[in-house]
Structure 1
Amino acid sequence: MTQTNQKPLGYFFAATAVFVWGITFVSTKYLLKDFSALEIMLLRFIAAYIGLWIIQPKFIKIEKTDNILFALAALTGLILYQLSENVAINFTNASNVSVIVSICPLFTAIITQIFLKEKNLSVRFIIGFLISITGVALVCFNGTTLEFNPRGDMLALFAGICWGFYSMIISILNKKNYEPICATRRIFFFGIIFMLMLLPFILNKPADPARFTKPLNIVNIIFLGFVASGLCFVFWGKACKIVGTVQISCALYLIPVVTAVFAFMLLGEKMTLLGAAGAVITIAGLFISRRAV
């Protein structure tokens, strides 16, 4: 099957990942009642790593120098991105975070042009970027009292930048043709190592075993780890390889829509007219930028 004929499959992988990732904001918000952001990350990475071993129980030969790329992918896409996103949800609404993080495609295009010399920037792209930033500003003021959550909103923006660097590294690794599941598992291996370095911060208070007796906690941990992290990171890597990193990254604009629906149904969060307008403007800007790449 040619690369062109595989594109529908690539879009399917991307759509599945985006749909699941849109729900993760809601799932994380629920777990934050009983777990810290660092605890959620560690449990999520372990569940993903074990799950990927179950799916593909074999080793792959990796060039020693490529371990640096896998480690950097873990640092940017797992540690910095996930930590910033999880902590951001502590300070602002899940819907807010998802809309702000949806700017990832714009940062991906900028970063790949700077470091990989890919021609992704144009006047149309810049216009789309500015429109999206305007939408993000409105989303940050979501609420009847125009409430501004600088800590949560800025952390969400930083998470988007980190994802841009992660996408660039994945683009480089895809060219080396590693087996997707094993490559993703390698990234989570380094992610767990980084998390173990943060262990003193994770265990800063006595753990409550009762947290693991709640069925919904177990379900959410498995969902975030095995499904959202393990499988969806594999899906995203395949989508980037088939369709192209910058092109497929624009699918991330769908995340806020998914999050808003599930946050409304499960968390009771509301989107005001101002916030809804911001979401629409952000997505419109992303559409314009997408047409430019």
Structure 2
Amino acid sequence: MKNNSECPKSLGVFFAVITIFIWGITFVSTKYLLKNFSAFEILFVRFILAYFGLWLIKPVPLKLANSKDNVWFFLAGLSGIIIYQFTENAAISFTTASNVSIIVSICPMFTAIIAQIFLKEKHITAFFVVGFIIAISGIVLVCLNGSSDLHFNPKGDLLALASAVCWGFYSMAVSKINRMNLDRILCTRRMFFYAVITMIPFAIFGILENDPSSSFYLNMNAQKNAERFSSLVSWANFCFLGLGASAFCFVVWNVACKTLGTVKVTVGIYMIPVVTIIFAFFILREKMTAMGLAGCILTIAGLAISNRGNK
């Protein structure tokens, strides 16, 4: 698929919907793996699997007309894969999967803001501003989630907010890459390549890290690793995250962005919390208070309002 004519809009919508559904479950899958793996270990294994999975699908090199275009692939790998995924994984270590999914769902707003600033696209309207205020109000309620003394640990929630900002920069890089009209699989694999390369210094730091509770910790104990990686459930989750949520979803998401428009498709992310909350309730037994539920509704309503008036 190299241009819009090769992918009908109905297929772009289908790709966006299936990706949103799968990404909604990733929060639950990551929460399970965090019982035995650090946030960085999950990230490292996930994208190694994704990178080699795409090589098996299409074992041919990507050729660029201008080598300077690699900067957009590097930015996409750094912002949308390394920083976004790591801060999201780390956030889930400190708060619930439901909380993180709701907070991250405001990334369409940051995508619109960044697109307007750097790509000169006009997305910020009166509806956008009103929706942004409503969504932020909802996020405050989600963060509090029934805390009677209004005291909470903001670490996980702020990390989730940072990941939402990073996704905005990733979306900008994807917009630039889509204009090159290159093969989607090869483009996604190139992003993963830069992501894996960027992870190497962090991996060295993780090996030297002596605190097992650290999000960067990389366990090099052979006996412990043999025990951890012998779990079929853990491998099922890694394959789901690496081959499904990463290799497959990043490819079809980029196709959807090319077909329907990055900002328009990204708005669909506000449905991810609904998927996450349902699966987190049944699998992780996470519960949400009336305040948290009200915050969820406000956040989704704010996102819907912010998109009103856009074609």
Structure 2 equivalent of residue 128 of structure 1: 131
Structure 1 equivalent of residue 121 of structure 2: 118
d(CA) in 1 for partners of 2:173 and 2:56?
25
**1:38 partner amino acid:** F
Residue of 215, 229, 234 corresponding to 2:246:
229
RMSD: 1.5
Q: CA deviation at 1:3?
A: 5.2
- TM (norm. structure 1) is 0.97
Structure 2 equivalent of residue 27 of structure 1: 29
SS of the aligned residue for 2:67 comes to coil
Structure 1 equivalent of residue 212 of structure 2: none
Residue of 9, 13, 17 corresponding to 1:11:
13
1:218 equivalent in alignment to 2:221: no
**2:168 partner amino acid:** G
1:262 equivalent in alignment to 2:252: no
Q: CA deviation at 1:219?
A: 0.4
CA displacement, residues 227-267 of structure 1 (integer Å, 9 cap, x when unaligned):
10111000110010000011111000011000001101110
**2:170 partner amino acid:** Y
Tell me: CA distance 1:196–1:246, structure 2 relative to 1, closer, same or farther (3 Å). Answer: same
Structure 1 equivalent of residue 62 of structure 2: 60
d(CA) in 2 for partners of 1:168 and 1:189?
19
| Same amino acid, percent of matched pairs | 54
Structure 2 equivalent of residue 47 of structure 1: 49
Q: Contact 2:128/2:306 (CA < 8 Å) preserved in 1? A: yes
SS of the aligned residue for 2:288 comes to coil
d(CA) in 1 for partners of 2:69 and 2:21?
30
Q: Contact 1:47/1:226 (CA < 8 Å) preserved in 2? A: yes
The 5 Å alignment of 1:239-278 reads: 239-278=256-295
Residue of 204, 229, 237 corresponding to 1:200:
204
CA displacement, residues 181-224 of structure 1 (integer Å, 9 cap, x when unaligned):
01000000011001111112332343322101011100001110
SS of the aligned residue for 1:148 comes to coil
- TM (norm. structure 2) is 0.91
d(CA) in 1 for partners of 2:151 and 2:237?
29
d(CA) in 1 for partners of 2:24 and 2:151?
23
Q: Contact 2:62/2:190 (CA < 8 Å) preserved in 1? A: no
**1:216 partner amino acid:** V
Unaligned runs of 5+ in 1: none
SS of the aligned residue for 1:124 comes to helix
The 5 Å alignment of 1:49-198 reads: 49-62=51-64, 63-143=66-146, 145=148, 148-198=152-202
**1:254 partner amino acid:** M
Q: CA deviation at 1:147?
A: 5.7
SS of the aligned residue for 1:213 comes to coil
Q: Contact 2:4/2:258 (CA < 8 Å) preserved in 1? A: no
d(CA) in 2 for partners of 1:70 and 1:292?
32
**1:65 partner amino acid:** K
Task: Return 50-59 or 73-82, whichever deviates more.
Answer: 50-59
Q: Contact 1:120/1:292 (CA < 8 Å) preserved in 2? A: no
**2:185 partner amino acid:** I
Structure 1 equivalent of residue 213 of structure 2: none
d(CA) in 2 for partners of 1:7 and 1:279?
29
**1:211 partner amino acid:** R
**2:281 partner amino acid:** F
Unaligned runs of 5+ in 2: 210-218
Q: CA deviation at 1:68?
A: 1.0
d(CA) in 1 for partners of 2:240 and 2:8?
27
SS of the aligned residue for 1:178 comes to coil
Structure 1 equivalent of residue 307 of structure 2: 290
SS of the aligned residue for 1:271 comes to coil
